[in-house]
Amino acid sequence: MATPKYKRVILKLSGEALAGQQGFGIDPNVIHNIAQQLAEVVELKVEVAVVVGGGNIWRGISGSSKGMDRATADYMGMLATVLNALALQDALEHLRVDTRVQTSVEMRQVAEPYIRRRAIRHLEKGRVVILAGGTGNPYFSTDTTAALRAAEIEAEVILMAKNGVDGVYNADPQEDPDAVKYDELGFFDVLSQGLGIMDSTATSLCMDNDIPILVFALNEIGNIRRAVMGESLGTIVRRKTRA
C-alpha cells in the first residue's frame, strides 16, 4: 500500500463548502460526502483535524455592515461554526469514525474546550478532531484559526478544500475563460497579488511558520485522499526554494 505524504493535516472546511448548491445552511448530502472522504483518509492512518467555518450561517462582517456591533456579530459567527462542527461530527460517527469536537468558545454540554495537548492525544488515537469556535476572538477568521492550530499541533499542511474551484487562478475562472491556474505559489505572491485564497492574517501566519497550504476542489470525490497522498492536485502555496 502506498504511504501517505502527510502524517498530520489540518483540513479547512469553509461554511460555504457545507452548504452545497443551496448556498446557505447545511446540505446533508454534501456533509455525508465529506465524511466519506475523511473516513478514507483516517483508514490510511493520517491524523486529521478539521477547522470548520461558519459563513453558510453567519458572517460577522455582514452583521456589522448592517449596523451591529462587530464583536457581537463575530461571536455569532463563532457560534455558527459550532453548528457545522456538530453536523460534521454526526456524519462521521454514522460512518463509525471516532471524533471529538473541541471549541474555543466553551460550551461544555456539546463539546470539549480546545486544549492543545488533548487535541494531539485524540489525533494520536486516530480520532478526527473537529475544531469549532474559530480562535475564540472577534476580528479573526476560521482561515486564521486553521493557520494557528496547524502551527500549534504541528500539522504538516493545511488542506484548503474549496467548493467549485480546483486551485488558485490569476483571474476568476468563472468570468475569464483565459484564467490560468497556478500549480505552485509563494506566500509573498499571494499577499502581494491579493489572491483571495485566505485572508492576509492567515497567510502571514502560514508564511512565518512555514506551513504549506494546498488549495483544491472538495466536490470531486477522493480528492482529500489524493491530497494526503501527495498526488499532483490544485495549487500549493509554500515557501519558495531558490532555483
Determine the Cα–Cα distance for residues 42 and 203; give it in Å rounded to an integer: 27
Helix, strand, or coil (residue 166): coil
Determine the Cα–Cα distance for residues 151 and 83; give it in Å rounded to an integer: 25
The minimum distance between CB 44 and ligand UDP, in angstroms, equals: 25
Q: Measured in whole angstroms, how far is the alpha carbon of residue 155 from the centre of its chain?
A: 12
Determine the Cα–Cα distance for residues 219 and 105; give it in Å rounded to an integer: 30
- 213-217 and 235-237 beta bridge pairing: antiparallel
C-alpha cell at 181: 491556474
Q: 78 or 92: whose CB is closer to ligand UDP?
A: 78
Out of 103, 130, 134, 155, point to the residue binding ligand UDP (CB under 6 A). 134
Q: 6 or 140: whose CB is closer to ligand UDP?
A: 140
Q: 137 or 230: whose CB is closer to ligand UDP?
A: 137
Tell me which residues in 15-34 interact with ligand UDP (CB under 6 A): 15-16
Length of the chain: 243
Out of 141, 163, 203, 223, point to the residue binding ligand UDP (CB under 6 A). 141
Tell me which residues in 46-85 interact with ligand UDP (CB under 6 A): 53-55, 59-61, 74, 77-78, 80-81
Q: 71 or 110: whose CB is closer to ligand UDP?
A: 71
